[in-house]
Structure 1
């Protein structure tokens, strides 16, 4: 299985900001399901600008916590929204949702073992 999190980057951040990293990671796992729901609703409503917006938000927050795969999936979704063609967004959304589940588990494991 490919790497889910950039652990070297997380460990460097932990050295720099200490226990604040735990709060950042916990916030990511608390807020992200709402963003994913908003993205799913935008896809269902065929609202390309909102798809772009929510994919962009998710891309940034995933990158900030050191996610490896999720940001690139979100960039692809963001580009679909920007182009106004979200015909295949539902298929990509399934990948995003699976990637987030895996990422969330990895983030929780990191929190448990490092703090």
Structure 2
């Protein structure tokens, strides 16, 4: 499992067979998608919309898995499988997802 603080875009590219330029392009797209989906997930949690929570968590899980951001992938999977009627649980998971993603973004921006 790749920990956020140990994430290395070049190593991930080597592992999946892509050059650094392609990885940087994919990373930019990943950030764009995740920024939007975090907002969508947040609205869905606030509005208690179980199907949308599941949809956005699933989409984010796939994006994180493709970029090998394992911690974020695991949290999104947990949200996808969580009891969506448990507002405290979905709110806690959303906070953890936002925190993990924020940590990832700050790491890669340096």
**How big is the alpha-carbon RMSD for the aligned residues of Structure 1 and Structure 2?**
1.9
Compute the TM-score of the two structures, normalised by the length of structure 1.
Answer: 0.79
Partner in structure 2 of residue 76 of structure 1:
78
Partner in structure 1 of residue 99 of structure 2:
98
Q: Does 1:60 align with 2:62?
A: yes
Partner in structure 2 of residue 3 of structure 1:
3
Rounded to whole Å, the distance in 1 between the matches of 2:86 and 2:79 is: 8
Q: 4+ residue runs of structure 1 moved beyond 6 angstroms?
A: none
| Structure-to-structure mapping, 1:32-51, within 5 angstroms | 32-51=34-53
Compute the TM-score of the two structures, normalised by the length of structure 2.
Answer: 0.82
Q: Alpha-carbon deviation of 1:6?
A: 4.9
